[in-house]
Chain A
């Protein structure tokens, strides 16, 4: 198992390097940092613009390979370069990454667990009312783009707040600015702000995971070994969870790896709509400001997240499937 995982990890590291190199090349060729400086007032002289571009390592006149070499050299020292406003990219990264991870991790865990349970449950109740209702709702949610789902959530919360006359659900930003109070007041405030974005992400995941889990579970439910397990006297619930769900989760691990791309994009949209100062907002601002180094930092974040998800799904696959483990 360790050999298999080591091989996968090696592949992911290669993938990460190529992906980051590719995004560096893309960002460097398509963004125009000079435009940012030339748009400032008073307009700086061309010579000073060139000097600043050189300092940032984003001068389009320097060959791309040289720029990339310098950037990699900095990266080796844990330095991601300077933003276009001459602040360290690493600082910005640290400020924002936890905000994004909070949503991503809480949303993923909630969505995956609920989705799998819902899928497994509806599979045991095939064609009954609950199964049909879950199928219909999942279908509807899957047809709503994430950003529209997030917008619906904000409109719903605004309506609720006006209707009751109280700010029941605060949803702008990741916390209320200037809130006074102790640790628990702040914690409570953060949790309230988490509700809608997490629900948006969670619903999106529950809808797709439950459908998929239901299908894999149905395949398992009709299998001979589950009948054997029941025939030798195992209680239904035990047979279902120990023999059924475990096998039905194996295809899910692959689905999880692919689904994560959509999740990451969805979380970015959700953050933006709820006004969180996370990685998504940074990406959009950086592209609009032609900030090459920040865009590359976001790409690094995205690639690392996707590959971690891929690796987790490999671990899960190996843990669930002895054929992989002992191969």
Chain B
């Protein structure tokens, strides 16, 4: 019943979002993303690290639990690519395993905390009143105590549990600021015509949130989730470093850095491989997030420059091909002039 008018509205929406010009929104975004060298490098590094994390155990000669008594604290060699630790574990196998755990935790935490943040934020903003007040009180409350503190206090409860509990904890205490942003975006979307039209047509509120509100904050959520992967990996490593996260015999980048710290100057391979891996991964994810922000969010200032560059290039192409001027990009003047 409500599907027909809604579908029309949705069509208009996606038509507006695609912007003028023949290229679809997806292709425009992809082109903008690819025009940013940093983000392309970031994306490639992220893919390579994922390959290393999941194919590494296959190509490694040793398993991360295996102990080679003939090689204690040996420097990197053909036998042990990243050297060995104090009791003869193969450092390559350990780093690869730790990377895998850290990446999995980072991805899962970013996914769940973003989902939680978008649900709470959109509901608080859309329904207002008590729902808003109660959820924002919780947000403020959780922002009063550092999540590091809460998770560290709760860590004895989960000493012998699976690392998935740790994922749940990191996600449950990491969604608050995103939820606040989603809420304020929802507040301004709520009064726009297409949302009001849907509302007066009798569309169910949850359907409005899923069909009209969330798609309009999707760019923000995608960017935020990407950066959140880096943040979650940092949080995981920090907690594990101080013994409140991943527990032995399991390893993560945090526990490996912790094991290698005391030997950082004498047996550098025990520290540097895991530490550099962690920094490189977070850096790559942040670069990717930055490129996504430029590509997806046409109001940020760096985009206006990028778009101006694209527009200039397109203008040049137009002149060259003597085509008509249908391919101007929107929002060229939206950002701040330099």
Q: Is the beta-carbon distance between B337 and A222 smaller than 8 angstroms?
A: yes
Q: Is the CB of B238 within 8 A of A144?
A: no
Q: How far is the CA of A43 from the CA of B322 in the complex (A)?
A: 91
B237 at the interface (CB under 8 A from A): yes
A226 to chain B, nearest CB (A): 11
For residue B2, CB closer than 8 A to chain A, the reply is no
The answer, yes or no, to whether B118 is at the interface (CB within 8 Å) is: no
When the two chains form the complex, which single residue of B143, B157, B241 contacts A258, counting CB atoms closer than 8 Å?
Answer: B143
Asked if A283 contacts B152 (CB within 8 A), the reply is yes
Flag if B241 contacts A147 (CB, 8 Å): yes
Enumerate chain A residues within 8 angstroms of B279, measured Cβ to Cβ.
143-145, 148
By a CB distance below 8 angstroms, the chain B residues around A269 are: 238, 242
Check A265–B148 contact: CB distance below 8 A.
Answer: yes
* Residue-wise interface mask of A (123-153) relative to B, using a CB-CB cutoff of 8 A (1 in contact, 0 not): 0001100000000000110111111100110
Q: Confirm or deny: A158 has a beta carbon within 8 angstroms of a beta carbon on chain B.
A: yes
Contact B146 A218 (CB under 8 A): no
In the complex with contacts A19-B144, A22-B145, A127-B338, A143-B286 CB distance below 8 A? yes
- Assess the A23–B242 pair: CB atoms within 8 A: no
Number of B residues with CB within 8 Å of any CB on chain A: 45
How many residue pairs at the A-B interface have CB separations less than 8 Å?
A: 123
When chains A and B are docked, how far (Å) is the Cα of A215 from the Cα of B304? 13
- In whole angstroms, how far apart are the Cα atoms of A19 and B137 in the complex? 11
Taken residue by residue from 254 to 268, chain A's Cβ proximity to chain B (1 for < 8 Å, 0 otherwise) reads as 000010010011001
Chain B residues positioned under 8 Å from A31 (CB to CB): 153, 156
| Cβ–Cβ contact B149 & A283, under 8 A | yes
Is B246 positioned at the interface, with any CB of A under 8 Å from its CB?
Answer: no
In residues 138-160 of chain B, which contact A (Cβ within 8 Å)? Answer: 140-141, 143-150, 152-157
Give a binary string over A214-248; 1 marks a CB under 8 Å from any B CB, 0 the rest: 01001101100000000000000000000000000
- Judge whether B143 and A261 touch: CB under 8 Å: yes
> Does any Cβ of A come within 8 Å of B303's Cβ?
no
Say whether B329 faces chain A, with CB atoms less than 8 Å apart: no
How far does the alpha carbon of A16 sit from the alpha carbon of B287 in the complex, in Å? 37
- The segment from B10-18, B57-65, B122-130, B257-265 found at the interface with A is B257-265
**CB contact between A306 and one of B144, B177, B282 (< 8 Å): that residue:** B144
Q: Is the CB of B275 within 8 A of A151?
A: yes
Which residues of B have CB within 8 Å of A142? 286
Tell me the smallest distance from the CB of B175 to a CB of chain A, in Å.
14
Q: Mark A1-36, 1 if CB is under 8 A from B, else 0.
A: 000000000000001101100110011011110000
A262's nearest neighbour on chain B, judged by CB, is: B146
Q: Is the CB of A264 within 8 A of B146?
A: yes
Give chain A residues whose Cβ lies under 8 Å from the Cβ of B335: 222
State whether B157 touches A30 (Cβ < 8 A): yes
Q: A143-B283, A269-B238, A299-B153 are in contact. List 5 more A-B contacts (CB 8 A).
A: A23-B153, A151-B275, A159-B265, A261-B143, A303-B144
Interface residues of chain B, those whose CB is within 8 Å of chain A, are 140-141, 143-150, 152-157, 177, 230, 234, 237-238, 241-244, 257, 261, 264-265, 271, 275, 278-279, 282-283, 286-287, 290, 300-301, 305, 335-338
Which residues on A are within 8 Å of B, measured CB to CB? 15-16, 18-19, 22-23, 26-27, 29-32, 126-127, 139-140, 142-148, 151-152, 155, 158-159, 215, 218-219, 221-222, 258, 261, 264-265, 268-269, 272, 283-284, 287-288, 290, 295, 298-299, 302-303, 306-307
